[in-house]
Every structure is written in C-alpha cells, then in structure tokens.
Amino acid sequence: MLKVFKFYDPSATKWSWGRRLDEDYPIEKAIYYTDPFYAECRAYGRIKEAAGKGEIRGKIAAKCHGYLFLNTDAQRWLRTNGYDLGAGYFSDDLLAMQGGFGRPRAIVKDLEIEGPGVADQTPQQIRKSFWAVRQLNLLGIYNRDVRAENFRNGWLVDFDMSCTIPHDIYDSLPSFEAHTMKGRDLVSFEDMLEEAGVKMRFLRTKYYNFRPRRK
C-alpha cells in the first residue's frame, strides 16, 4: 500500500506548536516535529531501530517498507484522478524543506485486511492489540489517534499524528501534560472497547484521570 502525503506548511499550525516553542524557532526545524509525513517516518524509524537491537520481537504495527518520492508519471496520475497535493501553494524554499526536491512523498506499507470489528474480536485478539499499543509506548512512540478506525486486522496502521520521543514539542510540555499524553493511547484503547460494548479492561483505576472531564 502506498500512502501519499500532501505538502505541509508548519506555519499553518504555529498557533498550536508556537505557544510551546520559542517564537524564533526555525520553520525548517519545526517541520520535523509537526509534518504528518515525518511523524510516520520517526515512528517507523524507531520501530526499525528497536527491532534491530532486539528490543521487540515480531510485529507491533502495520509493517512499513520505507518511503519514496513520486516520479513524474505518478504525479500525473494523481492530477488526472483529481488528487491535489497542494504543491502550487508553496514557495520553492518551503518545498525544499520537505525533501524530495519538491516531489510528493509517500510511505510504503503492507495492506492490512480490515478484519472483524472491535465488538466481534476474541479476547485474545483484543489483548494482542492492547499489548502492541503498550509496546509502542514503551519505545517512546505515542500514536495519539487510537480508535477503531485506525486498526486493521488488530494493528495500528496510521502514525501521522504520532509523537516519537525525543520530541521538542513534547519536551516543552508541563510535566502534567507530558504525563497525560503518555497515558492517552492506553486510555483511548479502553474507551474504544467501552464504545464497542466490550467488557474488557487493562488499566488500573488510577489511570482513569487521563480521561477528559465530561461536560
């Protein structure tokens, strides 16, 4: 499977990351911590590194085979089929910051089958998914988008919202917010089970303070 990314302008989200980092924080550096493409690259890079060191055994997410930059034929196909990646709205300097000499970027992954919904999975399948998310967290990878739609065949498939430590924005968070972010994936997993009517729980009671207060 080929996941193609739109071009990204970090200044469009500076209202979010700018309040955590210095006002003079370089745009060319901010892109590495805010661009969805680099979020995926950092996450899968950490998984590959951990596998090489023997820190993990087997699969813990949809498998990634690397990234590539689309050639002219692929770009023409996208345009012909109505896909606009937004290159025309960016300056040459901003495109250069994103790598690939202005060519669209893509990540190559295994295509995971959808499989049964959460409510139809066996306890063993659910435990496998939970421990995979937990293993990612132990590696310093926080998906931040744990929900039923982001799982295929029991594996997380998208990491474009993820935070992989070390991360300048994470390092700038107050201790409570940083602690909350670290627990969010597992709490979201249990929320997903609850919404599906699955009566399985993995977390101790004290972790429930990670949940946002209901209005």
In this predicted structure, what is the pLDDT of residue 116?
A: 85
Look up the domain containing 62 and give its range: 2-210
Secondary structure (DSSP) of 115-156? -S-GGGS-HHHHHHHHHHHHHHHHTTEE-S--SGGGEETTEE
Place of tokens 């089970």: 193
Residue 215 lies in a domain: no
In this predicted structure, what is the pLDDT of residue 53?
A: 96
Q: Are 41 and 164 in contact (CB under 8 A)?
A: no
Element (H, E) at 180: helix 175-195
Residues of the chain with pLDDT under 50: 206, 208, 213-215
In this predicted structure, what is the pLDDT of residue 143?
A: 98
Residue 102 lies in a domain: yes
Closest by alpha carbon to 140, among 20, 56, 205?
56
pLDDT digits (tens, 9 = 90+) for 18-71: 888 877 888 888 889 999 999 999 999 999 999 999 999 899 999 999 999 998
- Structure-block tokens of residue 146: 């744990």
Residue 152 lies in a domain: yes
Total structural domains in the chain? 1
In this predicted structure, what is the pLDDT of residue 212?
A: 53
In this predicted structure, what is the pLDDT of residue 18?
A: 84
Greatest distance between any 2 Cα atoms in the chain: 54
Return all residues near 91 (Cβ < 8 A) that are at least 6 apart: none
